[in-house]
């Protein structure tokens, strides 16, 4: 996939990313309130919570880190646990790298990988054509600050809002994430079937003995590799270049 990175096309991609990242950011803002409460229980100040969310931007990873901080865990324990919880993002980075154009400057690879979340990955991988890092930057610019601000405000409001209200805010993110995969699932029966299978296996993995004891992030990686691998073997898809040539 050859793409010419012109100033005009990059500006367009950036603006589209800003627009598509806004609803994600609003969802993050609501969800981050509950994360802020956990951070407050760990003794973090609003600024510390804000900084943690800017540098990490991963709900599961931050939750694990804040919980361990509250338990007075060592730096090494926090680092290892956070790495395991966030390891699935390496798979997402690999997927996006396969969608990148060969003429994309190398510097965009580590910069794009800095802010790969489930939702930002979803809109970037679903976008037609080669991966444009400026689209990803646009989504990150609107989503990440709102996530960090929500965490800080969650710490401030931890003693004001009820626990049930804070927990209810997290529902918004699940609804937003469903909006990423439902449209392609409606157009493609194979994708729809894989989505259903993923839900079933994910639920089953959380209940099976021994498997349920594995960290959630690790379970996600295992299921992703197995399901995606099986789909690639039994339902191979041509890339856009091959489809165009055909």
| pLDDT tens readout for residues 149-203 | 999 998 888 667 666 666 666 565 566 567 667 877 888 888 889 889 988 998 9
Q: Based on the domain organization, do 173 and 210 belong to the same domain?
A: no
213-223 average pLDDT score:
74
- Comparing CA positions, the residue from 116, 125, 136 lying closest to residue 58 is 116
Q: Based on the domain organization, do 142 and 209 belong to the same domain?
A: no
Boundary (domain end) residue, out of 152, 180, 208: 180
Check residues 32 and 47 and name the one with the higher pLDDT: 47
Kindly report, residue by residue over 171-182, the tens digit of the pLDDT: 655 665 676 678
Report the C-alpha gap between 161 and 149 in whole angstroms: 17
Report the C-alpha gap between 183 and 41 in whole angstroms: 39
Q: Based on the domain organization, do 153 and 195 belong to the same domain?
A: no
Report the C-alpha gap between 148 and 50 in whole angstroms: 5
Residues with Cβ within 8 Å of 138's Cβ and at least 6 positions away in sequence, in order, are 13, 14, 15, 16, 17, 18, 19, 20, 21
Q: Based on the domain organization, do 161 and 197 belong to the same domain?
A: no
Q: Alpha carbon of 2 to those of 5, 102, 211, 243: distances in Å?
A: 10, 7, 43, 15
Boundary (domain end) residue, out of 180, 202, 227: 180
Q: Based on the domain organization, do 19 and 63 belong to the same domain?
A: yes
In the predicted structure, residue 244 carries a pLDDT above the cut 60: no
Report the C-alpha gap between 234 and 241 in whole angstroms: 21
Q: Based on the domain organization, do 155 and 207 belong to the same domain?
A: no
123-129 average pLDDT score:
87
For residue 2, being part of any structural domain is answered with no
Q: Based on the domain organization, do 52 and 141 belong to the same domain?
A: yes
In the predicted structure, residue 100 carries a pLDDT above the cut 50: yes
Q: Based on the domain organization, do 51 and 71 belong to the same domain?
A: yes
Reported confidence tier of residue 46, pLDDT bands at 50, 70, 90: very high
Q: Based on the domain organization, do 69 and 142 belong to the same domain?
A: yes
% of the chain beyond a pLDDT of 90? 21
Return the sign of the alpha-carbon dihedral for residues 90, 188, 181, 213: negative
First to last CA, the chain: 15
Encode 7-66 in three state secondary structure: HHHHHHHHHHHHHHHHHHHHHHHHHHHHHHHHHHHCCCCHHHHHHHHHHHCCHHHHHHHH
Q: Based on the domain organization, do 140 and 222 belong to the same domain?
A: no
SS3 assignment, position 236: coil
SS3 assignment, position 141: helix
In the predicted structure, residue 71 carries a pLDDT above the cut 70: yes
Report the C-alpha gap between 228 and 143 in whole angstroms: 27
Q: Based on the domain organization, do 112 and 225 belong to the same domain?
A: no
In the predicted structure, residue 99 carries a pLDDT above the cut 50: yes
Report the C-alpha gap between 30 and 24 in whole angstroms: 10
Tally of structural domains, the chain: 2
Q: Which two tokens stand for residue 86?
A: 């966030």
SS3 assignment, position 238: coil
For residue 141, being part of any structural domain is answered with yes
Reported confidence tier of residue 233, pLDDT bands at 50, 70, 90: confident
Task: Look at residue 178 in the predicted model and tell me its pLDDT.
Answer: 72
- Range of the structural domain that residue 235 is part of: 188-246
Q: Based on the domain organization, do 64 and 168 belong to the same domain?
A: yes
For residue 1, being part of any structural domain is answered with no
Boundary (domain end) residue, out of 162, 180, 198: 180
Q: Alpha carbon of 118 to those of 57, 70, 86, 95, 124: distances in Å?
A: 10, 26, 11, 12, 10
Give the Cβ contact number of residue 104 at 10 Å: 18
Q: Which two tokens stand for residue 67?
A: 């919980």
Report the C-alpha gap between 137 and 101 in whole angstroms: 16
């Amino acid at each position: 996939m050859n793409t010419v990175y012109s100033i005009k096309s990059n500006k367009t991609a950036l603006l589209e990313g800003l627009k598509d990242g806004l609803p994600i950011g609003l969802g993050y803002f609501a969800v981050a309130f509950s994360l802020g409460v956990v951070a407050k229980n760990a003794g973090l100040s609003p600024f510390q919570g804000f900084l943690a969310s800017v540098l990490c931007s991963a709900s599961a990873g931050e939750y694990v880190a804040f919980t361990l901080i509250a338990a007075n865990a060592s730096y090494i324990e926090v680092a290892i646990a956070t790495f395991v919880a966030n390891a699935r993002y390496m798979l997402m980075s690999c997927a996006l790298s396969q969608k990148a154009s060969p003429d994309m400057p190398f510097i965009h690879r580590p910069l794009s990988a800095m802010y790969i979340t489930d939702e930002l990955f979803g809109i970037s991988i679903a976008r037609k054509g080669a991966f444009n890092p400026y689209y990803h930057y646009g989504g990150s610019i609107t989503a990440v600050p709102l996530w960090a601000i929500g965490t800080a405000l969650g710490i401030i409001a931890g003693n004001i809002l009820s626990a049930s209200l804070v927990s209810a805010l997290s529902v918004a993110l699940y609804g937003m994430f469903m909006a990423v995969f439902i449209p392609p699932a409606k157009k493609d029966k194979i994708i729809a079937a894989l989505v259903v299978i993923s839900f079933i296996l994910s639920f089953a993995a959380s209940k099976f003995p021994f498997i349920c004891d594995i960290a959630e992030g690790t379970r996600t990686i295992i299921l992703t590799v197995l399901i995606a691998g099986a789909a690639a073997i039994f339902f191979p898809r041509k890339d856009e270049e091959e489809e165009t040539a055909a």
